[in-house]
Structure 1
């Protein structure tokens, strides 16, 4: 089994070694083997980190990701992943809608071209609407 040191793994996945140690401490990564006092990981650990980062970008918490990885170890991953994903989809849909609204607001501001935030009609609010 080919192994890689923590520094090399960190560079390979674009993270700091301290983040990898943290992931290990909370159970996202299995405990590293020690060689001369230094952590070494199987090369396949980079793939696990890629899964963790994808899940984070999708909005899963570290606790949810740990549940998913624990289910993988127990071979219950398919059912567990489906449950987590079905719960996450509405949250992602809301995020997409909010992000699209923000994108449209920025585009409207660019189209306005007034570039004066004090007098821009797009930013004018009726204070009675805030209550």
Structure 2
């Protein structure tokens, strides 16, 4: 049986613009996988060009390697992903981006209010955190983590 030729790591680097060391790192993280030809050289699928392009795009949006791996793991092994496969990934990616955009918009809008106020102290903030209500929801930046900053009847 004749083995398929695949792409050498140098050719993959040239096609993606990535350094060979970056491709080796992404391989070690399970984002792409290679096989060895009869001469022991690492070979990649042509579909790995798109996988690595997706990795570069996702990293520009601050997705972690684990998040990227999770998305890529839903793609099929042993065949090139179809447009439907990529559409499914795109929907998941879009949902995560929408969540990030919402958090950034909240941060931007709330930051404007805090800068205008000048106190920058959530325990003392009568507008966003009267009576330090946020502390009842747990530690950390509660409103940035998705908790509501709506003023309720308990405040």
TM superposition score category, shorter chain reference: 0.5 to 0.7
| Structure with the larger RCO, 1 or 2 (CA within 8 Å, 6+ apart) | 1
TM-score, length of structure 2 as denominator length: 0.51
How many residue pairs are counted as aligned between the two chains?
A: 102
1:71 aligns with 2:74: yes
1:17 aligns with 2:20: yes
Aligned residue in 2 for 1:86: 95
Question: Helix, strand or coil for the counterpart of 1:72?
Answer: coil
Does the aligned pair in 2 maintain the 1:60–1:88 contact within 8 Å? no
Displacement after TM superposition at 1:47 (Å):
1.4
Question: Helix, strand or coil for the counterpart of 1:7?
Answer: helix
The Cα offsets for residues 29-57 of structure 1, whole Å up to 9 and x where unpaired, read as 02x11122221112221111112212222
Query: What is the alpha-carbon distance in structure 2 between the residues aligned to residue 65 and residue 27 of structure 1?
Result: 10
Query: What is the alpha-carbon distance in structure 2 between the residues aligned to residue 89 and residue 95 of structure 1?
Result: 10
Instruction: Name whichever structure is richer in helix by fraction.
Output: 1
The Cα offsets for residues 2-26 of structure 1, whole Å up to 9 and x where unpaired, read as 4111012112111111111111111
Q: Which runs of 5+ in 2 are unaligned?
A: 78-84, 108-117, 121-155
In structure 2, relative to structure 1, the CA distance for the partners of 1:12 and 1:82 (3 Å cut) is closer
Aligned residue in 2 for 1:45: 48
Does the aligned pair in 1 maintain the 2:8–2:42 contact within 8 Å? yes
Q: 1:33 aligns with which of 21, 35, 42?
A: 35
The CA RMSD over aligned residues, in Å, is 3.3
Aligned residue in 1 for 2:60: 57
Query: What is the alpha-carbon distance in structure 1 between the residues aligned to residue 10 and residue 97 of structure 2?
Result: 33
TM-score, length of structure 1 as denominator length: 0.59
Does the aligned pair in 2 maintain the 1:28–1:66 contact within 8 Å? yes
